[in-house]
């Protein structure tokens, strides 16, 4: 049985969900936070935007899961978060030298979205800062050895997803919303991500694993579905274009190839609406 799992970025929504599942399975874990007020109860201080060379992790960590996100820089390419990347890589090296299995959560944004169901062997070609940072870290981690798993995931719907909550707030005031009908996502739920991470950890599945919903939907489709489930009139939805909102780029596709997901993890990609259903369950509770 797994023991002494470390969740880097344990106060993120994904990190908290993983911690909750580990606790339910009586698996010992530690988690990190950059918030000093949250320390204690197996929660350690760690800020990847600072020098971590002298940071000493707990001993005998069997698996370390990197959930921490980077702070985006203003300029693309030249603005990579090199300190955060270096900290992640330095820690990964340290854990590998101790025999720990490393799981790094990445993103579909390492691709430009020009192709649907992008294969993991395709060369990365990010178009935003978040994707650039993840791509740089991925490359370095892959070079460390074979005791590493990189989990690329598409849009994760959280219980406090701002766009969904803003729509619901507007509808509550009888105001229309203007979701994009030319911007897509292949959303997955947090609970699905937790299943993926724990399956990879249990079976020590190495290399790159990709996961997304089984198809893309537009933000307009998401809004209409959400409205239908909440009994909101369709007249309060007026589809618009991301171009009119001043957004310069949006990928044509966000789905990822799911061959390893099916063959190695024995998991099928979910419907995009499953993630929205989980969101609805959370807000209704």
For residue 174, the tally of other CB atoms under 10 A from its CB is 8
Report domain extents, the chain.
5-161+187-214+252-284
Predicted confidence band of residue 77 (pLDDT cuts 50, 70, 90): very low
pLDDT digits (tens, 9 = 90+) for 110-145: 999 999 999 999 999 999 999 999 999 999 999 998
pLDDT averaged over the chain?
A: 92
Q: Residue 75: pLDDT band by 50, 70, 90 thresholds?
A: very low
Cβ–Cβ < 8 Å for 86, 53: no
Give the per-residue pLDDT at 105. 98
Tell me how far apart the terminal alpha carbons of the chain are, to the nearest angstrom: 33
Distance CA 206, CA 284 (A): 38
pLDDT at 184: 98
Residue predicted with more confidence, 222 or 84: 222
CATH of 5-161+187-214+252-284, one of 1.10.150.120, 3.40.50.720, 2.120.10.70, 3.40.190.10: 3.40.50.720
Choice among 23-27, 143-147, 148-152, 166-170 with the minimum mean pLDDT: 143-147
- pLDDT confidence band for 70 (50 / 70 / 90): low
If one compares 48 and 101, the residue with the highest pLDDT of the two is: 101
Residues 6+ apart with CB under 8 A from 51: 83, 87
Give 81-103 pLDDT, tens digit per residue: 555 678 899 999 989 888 999 99
pLDDT, average across residues 190-205: 97
């Amino acid at each position: 049985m797994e023991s002494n799992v470390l969740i880097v970025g344990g106060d993120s929504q994904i990190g908290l969900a993983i911690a909750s599942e580990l606790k339910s399975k009586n698996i010992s874990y530690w988690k990190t936070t950059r918030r000093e007020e949250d320390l204690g109860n197996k929660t350690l201080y760690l800020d990847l935007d600072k020098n971590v060379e002298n940071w000493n992790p707990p001993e005998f960590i069997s698996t370390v899961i990197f959930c921490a996100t980077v702070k985006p820089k203003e300029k693309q390419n030249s603005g990579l978060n090199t300190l955060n990347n270096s900290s992640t890589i330095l820690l990964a090296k340290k854990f590998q030298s101790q025999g720990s299995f490393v799981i790094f959560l990445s993103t579909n944004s390492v691709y430009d979205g020009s192709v649907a169901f992008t294969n993991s062997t395709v060369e990365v070609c990010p178009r935003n800062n978040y994707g650039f940072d993840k791509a740089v870290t991925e490359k370095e981690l892959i070079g460390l050895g074979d005791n590493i798993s990189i989990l690329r995931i598409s849009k994760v719907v959280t219980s406090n997803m701002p766009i969904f909550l803003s729509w619901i707030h507007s509808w509550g005031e009888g105001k229309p919303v203007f979701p994009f009908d030319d911007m897509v996502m292949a959303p997955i739920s947090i609970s699905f991500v937790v299943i993926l991470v724990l399956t990879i950890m249990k079976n020590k599945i190495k290399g790159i694993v990709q996961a997304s919903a089984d198809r893309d939907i537009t933000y307009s489709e998401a809004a209409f579905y959400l409205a239908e489930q909440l009994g909101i009139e369709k007249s309060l939805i007026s589809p618009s274009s991301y171009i009119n909102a001043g957004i310069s780029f949006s990928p044509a596709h966000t789905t990822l190839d799911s061959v390893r997901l099916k063959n190695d993890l024995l998991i099928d990609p979910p419907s995009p609406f499953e993630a929205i259903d989980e969101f609805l369950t959370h807000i209704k509770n």
